[in-house]
Structure 1
Amino acid sequence: MLFGKLLPREGNFFEMFNQHADRIVEAARAFAHLVANYSDPHLREQYNRDVDNAERAADRVTHDVNRLIHKTFITPIDRDQIHTLINTMDDVADLIQDSAETMALYDVRHMTEEITRLTELSVKCCDRVKEAVYMIGKLADHHTAEAALKTCEEIDRLESDADRVMRSAMSKLFREEPDVREVLKLKAIYELLEKITDKCEDVANVIEGIILEHS
């Protein structure tokens, strides 16, 4: 069934997906700035606020989408797909915020090169999620559908890269860090950052399902 024939009676779910994807990227980039400027307490606090603001804005979009599902007679894609997509996207924003909060809560003193690398991969994944999400409303075009699938495949590759960095980071941490408290702190941070890329892969899987079913 072509997307062009599936117009909602009200609301614009595709635009709301785009808005949420924008907020995910804002949160990811603010978090990357937080990591890059971690030694400056004032900048760290500023970027922490930016992450929080982006996550709250994403929550509002999620709430609006879930409410609109119940008010829209005809939706552009299956209601379950809408619900799963927006809530999985919201999990990405939540994990970015969780990572920033955990760093502050655990009083992490310095950034490791593994944190920096996992953050870079998380930002790239979020950027690709945004690209894929922006294509959902145009999947009636074969070339757009193919491009969306390739973007989803790239997200999968980035997630695999993050897995490899995570395994290496854990090995190094347990071999070289003598302070048990630091081991626990950094282990928690590494796991959260790797979960961001995992959840981006989940978003990609949902989008692939939408493409294969409707394009």
Structure 2
Amino acid sequence: MLFSKLLPKEGNFFELFNQHADRIVEAAKAFSLLVTHYGDDRLREQYLQEVDNAEHAADRVTHEVNRLIHTTFITPIDREQIHTLINLMDDVADLLQDSAQTMSLYDVRHMTESIKRLTDLSVKCCERLRHAVSLLPKIAEPATAEAALKTCEEIDQLESDADRVMRSAMSALFRNEPDVREVIKLKAIYELLETVTDKCEDVANQIEGIVLENS
């Protein structure tokens, strides 16, 4: 019994990564529903709360991972990689919450096609992020490592698509919107949503590094 207690322990980091990725997708889907039903006051408040709940749950997972980093003797991958990955993932959840709250605080009155397109790309990025994270436990297998890298490439492409949508949206906004207040509001929303995809790309880059170092 004493010997078993002295054995090095490996925290269940991969499972916690998966839990966090699930919360990110929950937040993204709730945000998408918020955009879809924005004209309904009751549903808008409901989905805003769901985004907040998912972000708070993600925070708890992040806290647990960071705690385990300091209490686990042996980790499955480098400690710095774990720390960077979970905090980049948490940034994604934070940005989704920021996007939802900014729309409420700025009293945005209607959803533009550009917001809808950026939201759709954000959801797809988050779903691919979750898939990439789910592959981490088996990246020592060549086929799994290849699949993870392919998924990261897909995230990169989605981020490039979002960047093009935002540039087009900004151009149309400054050319066609006469109300300066609306310009300020929508510009902030566009930038936040594009940053969601940027941060997903940062997560993908971190996962690529982990795969290449550990496969």
Structure 2, unaligned runs of 5 or more: 1-7
Deviation, structure 1 residue 10: 3.4
Alignment-derived partner of residue 3 in structure 1: none
SS at match of 2:9: coil
Does the alignment pair 1:113 with 2:113? Answer: yes
Alignment-derived partner of residue 140 in structure 2: 140
AA paired with 1:158?
A: L
Give yes or no for contact 2:25–2:126 (8 Å, CA) kept in 1: yes
Q: CA RMSD in A?
A: 0.6
Deviation, structure 1 residue 141: 1.1
TM-score by length of 2: 0.96
Q: Deviations over 1:89-112 (max 9, x none)?
A: 000000000000000000000000
AA paired with 1:59?
A: D
Give yes or no for contact 2:25–2:127 (8 Å, CA) kept in 1: yes
SS at match of 1:38: coil
Deviation, structure 1 residue 9: 1.4
Pairwise mapping of residues 74-89 of structure 1 onto structure 2 (< 5 A)? 74-89=74-89
Give yes or no for contact 2:99–2:189 (8 Å, CA) kept in 1: yes
Aligned partners of 1:9 and 1:145: how far apart in 2? Answer: 25
Alignment-derived partner of residue 164 in structure 2: 164
Does the alignment pair 1:214 with 2:214? Answer: yes
Aligned partners of 1:140 and 1:88: how far apart in 2? Answer: 23
Deviation, structure 1 residue 191: 0.2
Pairwise mapping of residues 1-215 of structure 1 onto structure 2 (< 5 A)? 9-215=9-215
Aligned partners of 1:105 and 1:48: how far apart in 2? Answer: 12
Aligned partners of 1:87 and 1:95: how far apart in 2? Answer: 12
Aligned partners of 1:214 and 1:203: how far apart in 2? Answer: 16
Aligned partners of 2:187 and 2:63: how far apart in 1? Answer: 32
Aligned partners of 1:140 and 1:183: how far apart in 2? Answer: 49
Deviation, structure 1 residue 140: 1.4
Aligned partners of 1:139 and 1:199: how far apart in 2? Answer: 22
Identity rate, percent:
78
Q: Deviations over 1:50-109 (max 9, x none)?
A: 000000000000000000000000100000000000000000000000000000000000
AA paired with 2:210?
A: I
SS at match of 1:70: helix
Aligned partners of 2:24 and 2:141: how far apart in 1? Answer: 26
Deviating beyond 4 angstroms after TM superposition, the runs of 4 or more aligned structure 1 residues are none
AA paired with 1:179?
A: D
Give yes or no for contact 2:10–2:76 (8 Å, CA) kept in 1: no
Q: How many residues end up aligned between the 2 structures?
A: 208
